[in-house]
Structure 1
Amino acid sequence: ILFAMVVYNFYGATKMATQNKLWAGMAKETAHQIGTPLSSLIGWLEIMKADNVDETTVTEIEKDINRLLTITDRFSKIGSEPVLEKRDIIDETLKTFEYLKSRSSKQVEFIFKAPDHAVPVMLNPELHSWTVENLVKNAIDAMKGKGRLEVTIGEKDKFVRINVSDTGKGIPKSQFTKVFEPGFTTKKRGWGLGLSLTRRIVEEYHKGRIKVLASEVGKGTTMQASYRKV
């Protein structure tokens, strides 16, 4: 029996390592494929600036191109050890929050609450932005593009906590841990990788914790990510 358990665990670990390697390879290839048309878009943007195209239009296009550059950078980091920097988690979270707010349905009420002082945390800015984006987009999807979304940042002892709350369909208590498993999804479209990747970013890369803090079917959900302050 002991031998069988050792073989089973070894097989499971080997399979997981292979899956991680495959995922990292796919992510890096995606970053490479996006890079070519993105370089072309940057060139066209410079031409638009030279031709004095409406400044507001150029600015908004530039924001989206910069966002694509961020996404490409994220994918290129998968499978590599991320570099953590001392950053204000409020400022880093707000940047992504404001971008998503400007690109989302006007039927979603966006609310952001945080202390009025900097809260330093060791972060990888690009990967933290990915975390915030995944949590906010999941909340919007749960509300089907209409409702109230609130991001609240609070401190307790040596930790800072980011709560993302929505007024969506909610999650049954039996699925509180399952939602973080690779492949788990309740959507008609999607691979069920968003929250799995988010947990990896928060817990493995940033040594934090993420969980479903509270949820009630038909009323909404609050997700919580916790980090140690520096």
Structure 2
Amino acid sequence: MGKDIRRLEIITERFSNIGSVPVLKDENLYHTTRNAIEYLQSRVSKKVVFKIESDLPLDTPARINVPLFDWVIENICKNAVDAMDGRGSITLHLRRVRTRTAWYRRGTPPRQVAIDITDTGKGIPKNKLESVFMPGFTTKKRGWGLGLALAKRIIENYHEGKLFVKWSEVGRGTTFRLVLNQ
């Protein structure tokens, strides 16, 4: 019952953050990501293997709102679990990303980090790659198709980052890239 109460508190906090401008803080990216995965790992099939890899120092910060960030990670990973029919692997790879040269023209480029979330699921057909972020898009029998649309909004509007499909191949899997500022 204690876990259920904590879960409801998390959901309440997430929804209250959606209705207001969330506060972004410098948070340890590796530890925050690991905590989100540990929470999720106990709630999905034991046949799903989670891995976190990092090319970054383990104390690398990112500007995030933890409850909303957790929601994004949870949503992408739950979709991956569904795409793998409850068995396979999900790898989260933390890395630095290069900033586009356009930033250099405007001044100091922002420092950015990325999390690549790769699954061994069904993959997304090329003609559906743009649709996955549209409200109402779903491949599931149940659901409203709001998860990825909301995740994209959280990252792009609230965190001033990017969320996109980096790679997908039908029958092999998908990689979502989440880019955050430091």
For each residue in 1:169-209, what CA deviation from the matched residue of structure 2 results, as whole angstroms up to 9, or x when unmatched? 11011211110000011111110000000000000000000
Q: How does 1:158-173 map to 2 (within 5 A)?
A: 158-173=111-126
Alignment-mate amino acid for residue 45 of structure 2: S
- Partners of 1:190 and 1:98 lie apart in 2 by 24
TM-score normalised by length of structure 1? 0.70
The amino acid across from 1:182 in the alignment is P
Query: What are the within-5 Å matches in structure 2 for residues 204-215 of structure 1?
Result: 204-215=157-168
TM superposition outliers: structure 1 runs of 4+ over 3 Å? 61-64
Q: 1:200 aligns with which of 145, 153, 168?
A: 153
Matching residue's letter, 1:209? K
Q: Which has the higher helix share?
A: 1
Most deviating of 128-137 and 97-106 = 97-106
Greater Cα offset, 99-108 or 64-73: 64-73
Runs of 5+ unmatched residues, structure 2: 99-110
Which has the greater radius of gyration?
A: 1
- CA offset at residue 218 of structure 1? 1.0
Match of 1:108 among 48, 68, 72: 48
Q: Distance in 2 between matches of 1:91 and 1:152?
A: 13
- Calculate the aligned-residue CA RMSD, in Å: 1.3
Q: 1:141–1:127: structure 2 CA closer, same or farther, 3 Å change rule? A: same
Identity of aligned residues (%): 48
The TM-score normalised by the length of structure 2 is 0.88
Size of the alignment, in residue pairs? Answer: 169
Higher strand share: 2
Equivalent position amino acid for 2:46 in 1: K
Q: Secondary structure at the match of 1:111?
A: strand
| Residue among 71, 82, 89 paired with 1:148 | 89
Match of 1:134 in 2: 75
Match of 2:38 among 82, 89, 98: 98
- Measured against aligned partners, the alpha-carbon deviations of 1:63-84 in whole angstroms (never above 9, x if no partner) come to 4432321111111222211111
| Counterparts of residues 33-112 of structure 1 (less than 5 Å) | 61-112=1-52
Per the alignment, residue 135 of structure 2 pairs with 182
Moved more, 190-199 or 155-164: 155-164
